[in-house]
Amino acid sequence: MAVQRIAIGSPGEAAQPDAIRAAFAEFFSLLIFVFAGDGSGMAYNKLTNNGPATPSGLVAASLSHAFGLIAAVSVGANVSGDHVNPVTFGNFIGGNITLLRSILYWIAQLLGSVLACILLKFAAGGMETTGFSLSSSVSEWNALVFEIVMTFGLVYTVYGTAVDPKKGNVGIVAPIAIGFIVGANILVGDAFDGALMNPAVSFGPAVVNWSWTHHWVYWVGPSIGAAIAAIMYDNIFIGDGQEPLSSSDY
């Protein structure tokens, strides 16, 4: 059972060279992903002079996030497993990474997101980075359900294509599958709550713009969705007879 494999880790784990390299890999992956995804939103606002969202803009947001995530997952996969958050939490619940290494990853991911937004704001001449908010007809609880379900789909896809020891050749297409599920979820949820599925992605713009409205939704929803996906996939499809891969194996 997944929760039985949860481990805290050793006190010196964060200082080990492989852990430090992995943290840097997560940092740069988040920088790449947020710069591409958030940057596309800024470019759209500039082209439309901050006009209303359009179907074409939604498709553009979906594609930019999908392509950016495919690249971000691919470049660090051999170093850290390239979690790009919230997969880190799902892997912790599944016993694939220790709590101390998870914390190291989370810090690196948050810093990568913040730096991406700082660079975007500077490069765009002071233009505000794209923030995330709920549409007028969506409550915080509605958005919470969106984030839970979308993140469940994301982490479930990660487990099926990258974590499952039986994945075989499917692992080759893991970055593409992960990018596609994020792109598809953006088509579903962007008009309602921004479709983040990732606390780190919401954290960078929140820090740079210093706007924290509804911010808790983008932490609680993805965390719950990631945990449910990890526990369900591990117990139903991996089971006690097989050990999932460690975070450095995919």
pLDDT digits 0-9 by tens, 3-59: 556 777 777 777 788 889 999 999 999 999 999 999 998 998 888 888 778 898 899
**CA dist., res. 101 & res. 109, Å (int):** 12
* Domains contained in the chain, CATH given: 2-238 (1.20.1080.10)
pLDDT at 49: 86
**CA dist., res. 132 & res. 222, Å (int):** 15
Share of the chain above pLDDT 70, in %: 93
Strand segments (E) across the chain = none
Contact 94, 234 (CB under 8 A): yes
- Closest by CA position to 4, among listed 114, 94, 111, 134: 94
Burial 132-153 (b: 16+ CB within 10 A, else e): bebeeebeeeebbbbbbbbbbb
**CA dist., res. 87 & res. 29, Å (int):** 13
CB-CB neighbours of 241 under 10 Å: 5
- DSSP summary character for residue 242: S
Token pair, residue 240, equals: 């006690």
Q: Output the CA–CA distances (angstroms, integers) from residue 225 to 16, 74, 89, 228, in the order listed.
A: 30, 23, 10, 5
Place of tokens 């606002």: 45
Contact 61, 190 (CB under 8 A): yes
Share of the chain above pLDDT 90, in %: 56
**CA dist., res. 10 & res. 19, Å (int):** 12
pLDDT digits (tens, 9 = 90+) for 179-229: 999 999 999 999 999 999 999 999 999 999 999 999 999 999 999 999 999
pLDDT at 3: 55
